[in-house]
Chains A and B, each alone.
Chain A
Amino acid sequence: MKQWEKLRLFFSIVWRTSHAYVLLMASSVLLAGAQVLLNVLLPKFLIDELTGALRGEYLLLYAGMIVGLNLVLALLNSAVKRGLDEKELYVNNMMDRVMAEKVMKVPFGCLETPEYLDLKERALFAFNNQSAPYQMIRNTAQFLQSALIIITTLAVMLTLSPVLVLLLMLCVAANLFAYSRVMQDQLKFYASLIPINRKYGYYVNLGFQDTLQKDVRLYDMSGMISGRVTDYGREISGECDQFYKKMGRFQGLSGALNDLQSALAYGYAGLRVLGSLSGKAPISLGSLTMYVSAAASFAKAATDAGASAVTITAMLGYLEPFLQFMSLPEESDFGGTLPFSETVESIRFEHVSFRYPGSETRVLHDVSFEIRGGEKISIVGLNGAGKTTLVKLISRLYRPEEGRILLNGVDIFEYEHTSYLASIAAVFQDYKLFAFSIDENITGCRPGSDLVGTGTVIRRVGLNEKMAELDEGVYSMLGKSYDENGVELSGGERQKVAIARALYKNAPVIILDEPTSALDPLAEAEIYENFNSLIGDKTAIYISHRMSSSVFCDRILLLDGGTVSGFDTHAALMEKADGLYYKLFNAQAENYRIEKNV
């Protein structure tokens, strides 16, 4: 992305987030400009009066104006600052939300592609560790403010002499020239620091990651972690050492150039007071004061502008991942317009092949089969056979690389996005619940929006006793990460809530991927035995490593290395004694067979 393009995109997001913020920012820029102008112009009149007629009422007027107008500006400033501080906090947090909104809208495939995961991590790193939006906005305001001051002070000084302006500009040019050299270093420095910082951050976070602490202690990993932290810390320090010395030399030079500008302004204006420059009319001491303070403001503004420009460039670098992420296409851009009807007659895979974006290996290869409406099937296969991938494709989380998936004879991507997703309820093995109330988790709507419906599914998954135990029942917040009064449910209970959510959705297709892995044998059996009644006449797809579950299904889709190696009933598949299904089933079954011998 071009720098301008990035700037434009960033500020259009800020503008959309809060108009008030941008307007307040503009006001504060104008106020700062007015304050400089005021303190450059007014003292001239006071000093001229002091070195001239010394009329009491004029002295009072000028001094009163300086004091009074400064007071008014200070008042305005504090009012603007109040609003600005508030809006700044708002905008900074809302930027996070803007990002979140986008995360929820991009095609799901992006979320499992390491490239985009990395992009998001870098975007959030810029937010959380560099306060990039804040810095960006602040420095843009600073830059505009400096620019305004440069223009006004230049205008003042031009009334004295283009020569002085030229001299001062030369100083600024020298400064900018030096800056451009340092800026290269600075950008290089930032660029080299980003990846090191990221690695450093990873290992520091690793050290504080709660799920790792058991391993850390039992496997004595502390040395390994703190070793990396030390190494990357040194690396950061090494990068800084060189850069900061360079920066120090430059800043020192830059400061000296500012002092040179003061010397030039005083020297030149002083000579003009003396009238020793030929052909120029002498100026008053008041004018001298005005011009030197204009020069001082000019020099400071020029330095500030340079510094903010560099920070802006650096922040644009940090914000680039965010802006790239914001430019990704959205899920609803794909998919068709056909609204999906309520009944499922068939789901058909036609020569579907698939590999994950950015990956070399094909997960599914030329997969064809057809599930009839209302049928209950189980997908069985070894780890990595493509079971979960297959149901992700049905859920339209990815697009097949080749072939088509047809629902009722129509390519699923021809259906309109929302209505298609409404037809599928899936519980994935890595299902997530939110720190909302249990009832919100199930309905996805405001608390209490459908108590009857919630109650029904809670009973059907066997959670009603648990709910009765809780002080606030289904209104209890899940987990303590959001609300300290929240309830912690066990893994098995959480899994039941997830299943209840799927049932509540009442979609014609239900997918359960390892839905009972966290359940103990008794709870598992409870779900198994109720499985068919839970699901009713819906079309169901079931994945489990526990082979006993496939006994319940009408047919079993056997996947082997990404291809279909069988699609038949349990009994039929068991007849092939050398088949994978037979092996899988017996590997588990033989451990239970002892019962018959007792």
Chain B
Amino acid sequence: MKKSYPIGKTLARLVQNAWRQNKRLFASFGIYTLAAAVYPMFAVALPKLVLGELTQPAPSAERLVFIAVGFFLAAGGVGALKTYLYYASYHKLGLLRLEYLRDMLNKNLTMRYCNTEDAKFYDEHERALNAANSNDNGVEGVYHALYETPAVLLTVLAYVVFIGMKSIWILAALLLHVAAVFWVSRETHAFQHGLHAEIGHAERRVRYYSNTANDFSFGKDVRLYGFQSRILDNFKREIDAYVAIIARVKRREFLLGFLALGALLLSDAATYGLLVRDVTRGMPIADFSMYLAAVLSLSAQLKLLAEKAGTVYSEGEYVYDMFRFLDEDLGEHGGTHPAISGDTLEIEFKNVSFKYPRTEKYIFKNLDFTIRKGERLAIVGVNGAGKSTLVKLMTGLFAPTEGEILINGVPIGAFNKKALYSMFSAVFQEVNTLAYTVLENVACHAEGDRARAMDALERVGLGGKVRAFPKGLEQTLLKIIEKDGTELSGGEAQKLSIARALYKDANMVIMDEPTAALDALAEAEIYENFAALVQGKTAVYISHRLASTKFCDHIALFDGQGLAEYGTHEELLALGGKYFEMFTVQGKYYNRASEEVGA
């Protein structure tokens, strides 16, 4: 059984938000409701008036024309008003949606980092995240439905009274039919909901093929290894599987539909039968037409009402999920301790154990280890030893599973999140260049300091390149936003990310494999400039290339179990352990070759 949600509160909050944002919307809503409620009745009145006139003992052409003109003026006027108001407020409701979308985006950008690496988290909040994605569903779907429903409700009430006074049986049969239609749709919906796990699974698989096959970066491998038919066959198979599940829903809807058809037969038979009988008993033909029109109109309006109410109810649940997501404390604030100013950092791991959320395997167990103030530390190790995890822990992106991390003696959790992040200049292996200006890419803010940005770019050797751009610092990167945007090469992008770190000029520097994409000379350049880049700050340098350890004060070698070796380059070579092994293995061909050449 599906748990219900507080629909009243959810709708009230939506309405309050609309009231805060746009009060004029409510005036338009009031007038719209009146106009839209009255409008359908003109179409019911017209046949009654015309046929009434024609069946009078002395029908008059003038009165007939008067009726037609009167109808045109009244219905045309009221109808035009209602339609105009509907359109004029349509996108205003859309704007409310965009604001919610932005709120969710902000939440995603500021919530605790570990959630962003967690596919389950996004699965669990999928409904919330989809609540502001389209005009017809979620927030905006509910807003539109709320705008239109009261008018429909008024019309329906008027018709129900009107037809009920004529014949309770016609009304009853009609209500039965609409109820049957509504029931079929709810039942189908519930059936589909019961399959939602299967459907979601099938959709995800189809989406995978859609994304992969349409992803240009797969192009080389697809061609060279002949994956075309593999992908297309599998893609078709997944589409067929997906359609087969939906076909079950459609089959159910079709079968249940016979019930609605039966009710339709009953309703039509009651309406025509009883009205025809009444005419034979002397009811004017004008009334016959009027009631027939009224029944048709009520049936349409009731279906509309059921549809709108259904939208409010089912889409409202997405909205409720969205509110919950927005209200939940997702760790965007952290503690209250301000950033450390005027000093570099000391980072102490005290008995830290860590495993990634929802996994079993510990990356570290009881790690005790200190990065001293002002020290340049190289972290090396085999693949999977947890080097990058260490960075995520010391920057507060992840919290330790057990134990404590102290920054200058302050527990890392005590820091305000923004303050904490502000203390690190970090460069990662995967570089993100964004479709912003060079200045924004370096400063990471809309209003950057031009001189400082230029200085940072000069220091990483991109000064000349940027000055040569037609728009200099205002040049937009990537071509997706501006056609004449600039694409940087891998090496240039890497340098840009280092410039970003320099511009930030934070208390401590962290570099995680920043030279993987660079050629030997560019790499050597970074190594040589490393001291200048870090300027006496505490610095951590992670690399596969052990040569990089030479310009660091200490080396920490992590193996699969945790910190295995720690010391200076010379100390570790003398130790003759894992570091020695890795260093000699990596260096031996350089040395052998040099010896051969030297000899």
**Cβ of A389 to closest chain B Cβ, rounded Å:** 12
Contact B46 A216 (CB under 8 A): no
**Cβ of A259 to closest chain B Cβ, rounded Å:** 4
Given known A248-B87, A593-B591, A594-B569, contact A587–B520 (CB-CB < 8 A):
yes
User: What residues on B are CB-neighbors of A74 within 8 Å?
Assistant: 261, 264
- Kindly state whether residue B451 has any CB partner on chain A within 8 Å: no
Interface stretch of the complex, out of A2-10, A157-165, A239-247: A239-247
User: What residues on A are CB-neighbors of B43 within 8 Å?
Assistant: 262
User: What residues on B are CB-neighbors of A259 within 8 Å?
Assistant: 42, 71-72, 75-76, 79
A224, A240, A528, A592: which contacts B440 (Cβ < 8 A)? A224
A59 to B281, CA, bound (A): 13
A70, A253, A584: which contacts B519 (Cβ < 8 A)? A584
Contact B216 A481 (CB under 8 A): no
Contact B105 A202 (CB under 8 A): no
User: What residues on B are CB-neighbors of A491 within 8 Å?
Assistant: 383
Given known A589-B591, A598-B574, contact A271–B432 (CB-CB < 8 A):
no
A86, A266, A421, A523: which contacts B243 (Cβ < 8 A)? A86
A50 to B273, CA, bound (A): 12
User: What residues on A are CB-neighbors of B54 within 8 Å?
Assistant: 270, 273-274, 285, 288
User: What residues on A are CB-neighbors of B221 within 8 Å?
Assistant: 428, 431-432
Contact with B along A374-397 (1 / 0, CB 8 A): 000000011110000000100101
- Kindly state whether residue B300 has any CB partner on chain A within 8 Å: no
- Kindly state whether residue A225 has any CB partner on chain B within 8 Å: yes
Contact B109 A263 (CB under 8 A): no
Contact A434 B254 (CB under 8 A): no
**Cβ of B477 to closest chain A Cβ, rounded Å:** 12
**Cβ of B570 to closest chain A Cβ, rounded Å:** 8
In A67-83, the 8 Å CB interface with B consists of 67, 70-71, 74-75, 78-79, 81-82
A428 to B75, CA, bound (A): 70
**Cβ of B28 to closest chain A Cβ, rounded Å:** 11
A120 to B522, CA, bound (A): 35
User: What residues on A are CB-neighbors of B24 within 8 Å?
Assistant: none
Contact B432 A215 (CB under 8 A): yes
User: What residues on B are CB-neighbors of A70 within 8 Å?
Assistant: 264, 268
Contact A100 B110 (CB under 8 A): no
B61, B85, B109, B205: which contacts A248 (Cβ < 8 A)? B85
User: What residues on A are CB-neighbors of B239 within 8 Å?
Assistant: 90, 93-94, 97
Contact A490 B383 (CB under 8 A): yes
Contact A67 B272 (CB under 8 A): yes
A111, A262, A523: which contacts B219 (Cβ < 8 A)? A111
Contact with B along A497-532 (1 / 0, CB 8 A): 000010001000000000001111111110010000
- Kindly state whether residue B251 has any CB partner on chain A within 8 Å: yes
- Kindly state whether residue A101 has any CB partner on chain B within 8 Å: yes
| Least CB separation from B267: chain A residue | A67
User: What residues on A are CB-neighbors of B77 within 8 Å?
Assistant: 256
Contact A434 B227 (CB under 8 A): yes
| Inter-chain CB contacts under 8 Å: number | 466
In B494-532, the 8 Å CB interface with A consists of 500, 504, 516-524, 527
Is chain B's binding surface mostly helix, strand, loop or mixed? Answer: helix
Is chain A's binding surface mostly helix, strand, loop or mixed? Answer: helix
**Cβ of A571 to closest chain B Cβ, rounded Å:** 6
A59, A118, A501, A522: which contacts B276 (Cβ < 8 A)? A59
A222 to B445, CA, bound (A): 9
Contact A596 B586 (CB under 8 A): no
User: What residues on A are CB-neighbors of B59 within 8 Å?
Assistant: 274
A103 to B180, CA, bound (A): 47
| Least CB separation from B518: chain A residue | A383
Contact with A along B243-270 (1 / 0, CB 8 A): 1001100110110010001001100110
User: What residues on B are CB-neighbors of A211 within 8 Å?
Assistant: 430, 432
**Cβ of B54 to closest chain A Cβ, rounded Å:** 5
Contact B219 A226 (CB under 8 A): no
| Least CB separation from A87: chain B residue | B243
B90, B219, B491: which contacts A103 (Cβ < 8 A)? B219
Given known A266-B50, A270-B64, A588-B520, contact A548–B586 (CB-CB < 8 A):
yes
Given known A112-B216, A237-B94, A432-B218, contact A255–B76 (CB-CB < 8 A):
yes
- Kindly state whether residue A210 has any CB partner on chain B within 8 Å: yes
- Kindly state whether residue B223 has any CB partner on chain A within 8 Å: yes
**Cβ of A580 to closest chain B Cβ, rounded Å:** 9
Contact B223 A521 (CB under 8 A): no
| Least CB separation from A505: chain B residue | B225
Given known A78-B254, A444-B230, contact A226–B46 (CB-CB < 8 A):
no
- Kindly state whether residue B4 has any CB partner on chain A within 8 Å: no
Contact B268 A207 (CB under 8 A): no
Contact B225 A252 (CB under 8 A): no
Contact B106 A222 (CB under 8 A): yes
Contact B250 A274 (CB under 8 A): no
Interface stretch of the complex, out of B5-13, B95-103, B344-352, B399-407: B95-103
Contact A397 B220 (CB under 8 A): yes
User: What residues on B are CB-neighbors of A188 within 8 Å?
Assistant: none
Contact B95 A111 (CB under 8 A): no
- Kindly state whether residue A536 has any CB partner on chain B within 8 Å: no
A51, A117, A247, A520: which contacts B381 (Cβ < 8 A)? A520
User: What residues on B are CB-neighbors of A587 within 8 Å?
Assistant: 520-521, 523-524
User: What residues on B are CB-neighbors of A79 within 8 Å?
Assistant: 254
Contact A220 B422 (CB under 8 A): yes
User: What residues on A are CB-neighbors of B105 within 8 Å?
Assistant: 204, 207-208, 225-226, 229
| Least CB separation from B87: chain A residue | A248
A202 to B105, CA, bound (A): 13
**Cβ of B417 to closest chain A Cβ, rounded Å:** 8
Contact with A along B86-126 (1 / 0, CB 8 A): 11101100110011011001101110010011010000000
Contact A424 B247 (CB under 8 A): no
- Kindly state whether residue B279 has any CB partner on chain A within 8 Å: yes
User: What residues on A are CB-neighbors of B341 within 8 Å?
Assistant: none
User: What residues on B are CB-neighbors of A444 within 8 Å?
Assistant: 225-227, 230
- Kindly state whether residue A214 has any CB partner on chain B within 8 Å: yes
- Kindly state whether residue A19 has any CB partner on chain B within 8 Å: no
User: What residues on B are CB-neighbors of A85 within 8 Å?
Assistant: 246, 250
User: What residues on A are CB-neighbors of B383 within 8 Å?
Assistant: 490-493, 518-520, 523
**Cβ of B329 to closest chain A Cβ, rounded Å:** 17
- Kindly state whether residue B232 has any CB partner on chain A within 8 Å: yes
Contact A244 B250 (CB under 8 A): no
21 A-B pairs, CB-CB below 8 angstroms?
A: A74-B261, A89-B243, A213-B109, A214-B113, A219-B421, A237-B94, A244-B87, A256-B72, A270-B53, A288-B50, A289-B289, A383-B522, A430-B217, A436-B234, A491-B383, A521-B546, A548-B586, A549-B589, A570-B593, A591-B546, A592-B590
Q: Which 8 A-B pairs have the closest CB atoms?
A: A591-B547, A592-B587, A248-B87, A100-B213, A252-B80, A267-B68, A256-B76, A240-B91
A-B contacts besides A224-B440, A493-B383, 12 pairs, CB < 8 Å? A82-B251, A94-B239, A118-B480, A233-B102, A252-B79, A255-B83, A266-B68, A289-B47, A432-B220, A440-B230, A570-B597, A575-B597
